[in-house]
Amino acid sequence: MRCIRCGACMNHCPIYHAVGGHAYGWVYPGPIGSVLTPAFIGIENAAPLPNASTFCGRCEAVCPMRIPLPKMLRHWREREFERHLTPRAARWGLGIWAYFARRPRLYHAVTALAGPALRALAGRRGRIRRLPLAGGWTDHRDFPAPEGRTFHQIWAQRETGRQTGRQP
């Protein structure tokens, strides 16, 4: 491993920024930790870690040693999948998401409703203390209510702005 422990990958990782170093539960946090820990203690003991990534690719882009971190994370995800280590709640959640994702109109309708519903649930605090299927998050910290528009709404507005020459 060519890692020089500079910390650039974690300092640019949006997941690391959101959850902090302790959430990784072992010596090395951040993207490099999510790659190394399964190698040290076995994927069966570190299964959630390779999923702590949006695959935005920033970690690889800033790594001075050009270590292909997203590719290595994907390798561990594949091992996790092959060994059926993904928790049942996560499999159900992905199944529900896949159902809607294959039906774009329904997906847009549901996501357009989900934001306001979560904001109503959060109340004035703007944070949710308990959320079904999100216990892994809400057991330790509040869930922030989504703000403003969905990604698709922002994208559609940006595209319209581009065609008309106006900024969204």
Write out the residues near ligand SF4 by the rule CB under 6 A. Answer: 3-9, 32, 63-65, 67
* Helix 30-41 vs helix 69-82: crossing angle, to nearest 10: 40
- Residue 5 or 22 having the CB closest to ligand SF4: 5
| Structure token pair of residue 148 | 């403003």
**Shortest Cβ distance from residue 45 to ligand SF4 (Å)?**
21
Between 38 and 145, CB nearer to ligand SF4: 38
* Count of C-beta atoms within a 10 Å radius of residue 160: 11
When the beta carbons of 1 and 109 are compared against ligand SF4, the nearer one is 1
Least distance in angstroms from the C-beta of 31 to ligand SF4: 6
Q: How far is the CB of 51 from ligand SF4 (least distance, A)?
A: 18
**63 vs 122 by CB, closer to ligand SF4:** 63
Closest CA to 134 of 124, 149, 122: 122
CB of 48 to ligand SF4, least distance (A): 19
Choice between 9 and 52, CB closer to ligand SF4: 9
Shortest distance in whole angstroms from residue 81 CB to ligand SF4? 24
